[in-house]
Amino acid sequence: MKRATRFFFGLALCMWLQPAWSADAVAGAVEECIEEPIFEGRVCTLQANPDAEVGVILIHGLGGSIEDWKNTIPALAENFHVVAFDLPGFGKSDKGSQEYSPARYARLAHFLADRYFRNKNYHIVGHSMGGAIALRFAAQRPSRFQRLVLIDVAGILHPQVISKFQAGSLLERNSGIHQTRSFAERLSGRLLEEVDRMPISPLDVVNSPLGRDYVLMGGPQSIAALKLAGADFSNDIVSVTEPTLILWGDNDMTVPQRTGKILAARMPQARLEIIDNAGHEPMLDQTGQTNARIRKHLLASAQDLAGYYQAASPLPDFSSARVGTCSGESGLLFEGDYRSIDLRDCGNITIRNARVGKLSVTNSVVAIFDTGIVGKDEGLVSVNSNVAITNGTISGVIALNATRSRLDLAGVYLNGSQDAVKAVGSKLVFSVCRVHSPHSDGALHVYKKMNDDVL
């Protein structure tokens, strides 16, 4: 139990921690610290080109500061009134033992937008934790807000999923061997399951003033990290209708690119672009490439942007007679339409961009991407298997039927006329999913150990 507690806190407090940068203030910019009503302290800001007609707010990540944007501000200030600020608890802004949550930070961003932009339209750019704050801000539908840019956004997936990914990254970096990732992820997953059995969870600690003061020692970084981990962005994702650009470093080992794919698939007007040869901070790793994409998005005409979000052509009716099978094999790929797929004793199987009438998985490991499972009786049947699903839908009388299995579902919509999920002796992690059945209806962002239960 103690191992699990230390593991959870260690990942939450360290892996999202961004290095502070040391640089001179941006030429021609004006810094000031003002009183703000949300955290009831001073927030320090930097402005550039205040005479521009349109504004841009920049929101940094955990452990960062205004200086994270040192290469971005000059590029954007050519056309925009730029406002960057140190989040309370970080940089030069006031610090203390407070509830540093995405919701409160979003309220502060709203206060700053009203103060600095008043009658101006404006855009939001957020990185890492700042991206999650920007997403929550945009979901509140503030007036005069126009466009959104999210860069390597942290905190969207369930904390178990993110922590497993980061544990794999940590061991891979230290060992230099990619194959160690899967071992670390399996080990961390089992340790994190112990956290669920603790009488008091880490999220209970951060939600308590005593917990913040005496367990977390009032540390803004630890408080902000755990408040981010405890946030559910399921409803935010589907609420933002403004054009959204999602940027991701192709070698981000802090937050999985899977997050960007889910955001791009589930937000009404969003697209994902990958920054080559960049890690978690592409605005610093690949400044020119990142700035060019941000500027293109913010300066594009409404007509040009509309072309990015044209509705896809409707798919033909599902009528495939093709059957996919695997028995004792590894590394197979299934794409396109299948009446059914049956996997038995198979490893490292990928199903992507597919429509499947029924998927049966037994004693196997499978990753599924952007796939619809349109079962009549049962959609997905998993027995003694490990299944990870990113985006897609599963439907049927029983949409998902799991026995002694581990499932990781992210951005998945489950629709069951009888049961959306029926599980025996199984462990399931739902990240920003949605479920509809006679038992449940709405967002689902939770870890569940299901012994003989239905959803």
pLDDT (tens digit, 9 = 90+) per residue, 93-130?
Answer: 999 888 999 999 999 999 999 999 999 999 999 999 99
Other C-beta atoms closer than 10 Å to the C-beta of 253 total 17
Instruction: Please return the burial class of 385, using the count of CB atoms within 10 Å of its CB with bins 0-12, 13-18 and 19+.
Output: buried
Give per-residue pLDDT as tens, 349-380: 999 999 999 999 999 999 999 999 999 999 99
Domain 2-156+229-308: assigned CATH number: 3.40.50.1820
Higher pLDDT, 307 or 455: 455
Residue 233: per-residue pLDDT? 97
Please check the confidence at residue 82 and state whether its pLDDT lies above 90.
yes
At 270, is the secondary structure helix, strand, or coil?
A: strand
Residue 88: per-residue pLDDT? 97
Give per-residue pLDDT as tens, 388-433: 999 999 999 999 999 999 999 999 999 999 999 999 999 999 999 9
Residue 4: per-residue pLDDT? 44
Task: Report the mean per-residue pLDDT for the chain.
Answer: 87
Kindly list the distances between the CA atom of residue 389 and the CA atoms of 3, 177, 328, in Å, as whole numbers in the listed order.
29, 25, 21
| Stretch 209-237: mean pLDDT | 81
Higher pLDDT, 202 or 432: 432
Tell which phi-psi region holds residue 176, choosing left (phi > 0), alpha (psi between -120 and 50) or beta: left
As a whole number of angstroms, the distance between CA 377 and CA 320 comes to: 17
pLDDT-wise least confident of 129-143, 310-324, 363-377: 310-324
Strand partners, 447: 429
Q: Please check whether residue 343 is in contact with residue 360, taking contact to mean a CB–CB distance below 8 angstroms.
A: yes
Residue 9: per-residue pLDDT? 45
Residue 16: per-residue pLDDT? 42
Q: Could you give phi then psi for residue 159, rounded to 5 degrees? A: -60, -30
Return the percentage of the chain with pLDDT > 90, whole number.
72
Identity of the residue numbered 204: D
Q: Please check whether residue 50 is in contact with residue 260, taking contact to mean a CB–CB distance below 8 angstroms.
A: no
Considering only CA atoms, which of 282, 299, 202 is closest in space to residue 246?
A: 282
pLDDT band at 73 (very low <50, low <70, confident <90, very high): very high
Residue 320: per-residue pLDDT? 86
Q: Please check whether residue 280 is in contact with residue 249, taking contact to mean a CB–CB distance below 8 angstroms.
A: yes
Residue 240: per-residue pLDDT? 97
- For the chain, give the longest Cα–Cα distance: 67
Q: Please check whether residue 361 is in contact with residue 383, taking contact to mean a CB–CB distance below 8 angstroms.
A: yes
Residue 18: per-residue pLDDT? 40
Please check the confidence at residue 237 and state whether its pLDDT lies above 80.
yes
Residue 347 DSSP one-character state: B
pLDDT-wise least confident of 11-15, 125-129, 260-264, 384-388: 11-15
What are the residue boundaries of the structural domains of the chain, listed by start? 2-156+229-308, 323-454
**In sequence order, which residues have a C-beta less than 8 Å from that of residue 301 and are 6 or more positions away?**
none
Identity of the residue numbered 415: N
Return the percentage of the chain with pLDDT > 70, whole number.
82
Q: Which helix (H) or strand (E) holds 181?
A: helix 180-195
pLDDT-wise least confident of 223-232, 253-262, 293-302: 223-232
Kindly list the distances between the CA atom of residue 377 and the CA atoms of 7, 16, 303, 336, in Å, as whole numbers in the listed order.
41, 43, 44, 21
Sign of CA dihedral 205, 206, 209, 214: positive
pLDDT band at 207 (very low <50, low <70, confident <90, very high): low
Q: Please check whether residue 181 is in contact with residue 169, taking contact to mean a CB–CB distance below 8 angstroms.
A: yes
Please check the confidence at residue 21 and state whether its pLDDT lies above 50.
no
At 161, is the secondary structure helix, strand, or coil?
A: helix
